[in-house]
C-alpha cells in the first residue's frame, strides 16, 4: 500500500508536525530512560507516571488493571 504523503524536496525544512513527532519520540525515549536509570526514586516514579499518562492509561488506570 503506497503512502499518500509526499516526500519533501531535498534541503527543505521539516514541517512543524514532523518536528513535533521527532521531539515527541525523543521525549518518550528520555522518560523511559529516566524511569529506569534516574538516581532518585522520585524522578523514576515521576517519569513512570508521565509515560502512563501519555499512553492513555494514567497511573490510576494502570493500577486498576493490576488488581
Say how far apart CA 24 and CA 27 lie, in whole Å: 5
Dihedral over alpha carbons 54, 55, 56, 60 (to 10 degrees) = -90
DSSP code, position 56: T
In the chain, domain spans:
17-65
> Average pLDDT of the chain?
80
Read off the pLDDT of residues 7-60 as tens digits, 9 standing for 90 and up.
Answer: 666 777 878 888 888 898 999 999 999 999 999 999 999 999 999 998 886 655
Q: What is the pLDDT of residue 22?
A: 86
Amino acid at each position: 500500500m503506497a503512502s499518500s504523503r509526499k516526500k519533501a524536496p531535498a534541503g527543505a525544512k521539516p514541517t512543524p508536525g514532523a518536528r513535533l513527532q521527532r521531539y515527541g519520540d525523543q521525549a518518550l525515549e528520555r522518560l523511559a530512560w529516566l524511569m529506569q536509570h534516574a538516581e532518585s526514586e522520585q524522578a523514576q516514579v515521576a517519569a513512570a507516571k508521565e509515560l502512563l499518562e501519555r499512553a492513555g492509561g494514567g497511573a490510576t488506570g494502570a493500577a486498576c488493571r493490576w488488581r
